[in-house]
Amino acid sequence: MKKFSVCILVCLLMMSICSMAFAAKKTGSLQPEDFAFKGVALGDTSAVMQEKLGEPDFDTEIVVLEQAVKCYVYSADLKVCVDPRTEKVVAVLCKDKEYKARAGVSYGATRAKLMSTYGKADKEKRDGNLYYVYRNPEDEKQKLMLQMEPADYYVESFLITSLPLTEEEAAEYEMGEFPTELSGEDEPKLSGGFNSRGEWWAAYKVNDNLTIGI
């Protein structure tokens, strides 16, 4: 009887381990490529963007996540936006139904597919639209935002962005980097901004061989 009880306990333990392993397998995790689009990464210059994607049809100004940005239009279904102050990529908007992200995530992907590929998402409502939001664990300002069909919960479009979602992020984005000219110098000596960890930094260039933090 004692041996029988031990066997039952062992079996239950093995079943529990197998169940946990199966659950872990079904839950995905984020990777750096999830925050880029066809080789174009957030923070790339518009020149690098055009090397990767080719020349856009035209550019215009639009508002994305309440921020005014310069938008390079490749088609009705693909727009790449840059910060007009720096010409660096801050958003990619893709509605192309043929586009496939990592692991085949595309238009129509279900919540189960997203969970198995990326893991659990935060939910965000913007302008009446529902988004599943994933933040880059290596840089929380970088986000993968998937617009979801509100009734059946499948992917309708992709937004890869470093634009702010919170008031704190908006304040940092507004500040940005601030190269400043002093005493009529051609080359900026004072520079600063926020780093990828949200920490403020500033530096003053004394000469070609010496730069000090301030």
Q: What is the DSSP string of the chain?
A: -HHHHHHHHHHHHHHHHHHHHHHHHHS----GGGGEETTEETT-BHHHHHHHH---SEEEEEEETTEEEEEEEEETTEEEEEETTTTEEEEEEE--TT-B-GGG-BTT-BHHHHHHHH---EEEEETTEEEEEEEETTEEEEEEEEEE-TTT-BEEEEEEE-S--SHHHHHHHHH----B--TT-SS--EEEEE-TTS-EEEEEEEETTEEEE-
> What pLDDT was estimated at residue 158?
98
Domain with CATH 3.40.33.10 in the chain: 32-170
Which range is least confidently modeled, 74-83, 126-135, 191-200? 191-200
Answer with the residue of higher pLDDT: 5 or 212: 212
- Per-residue model confidence as pLDDT tens digits over 78-91: 999 999 999 999 99
pTM: 0.73
| Homologous superfamily of domain range 32-170 | CAP (3.40.33.10)
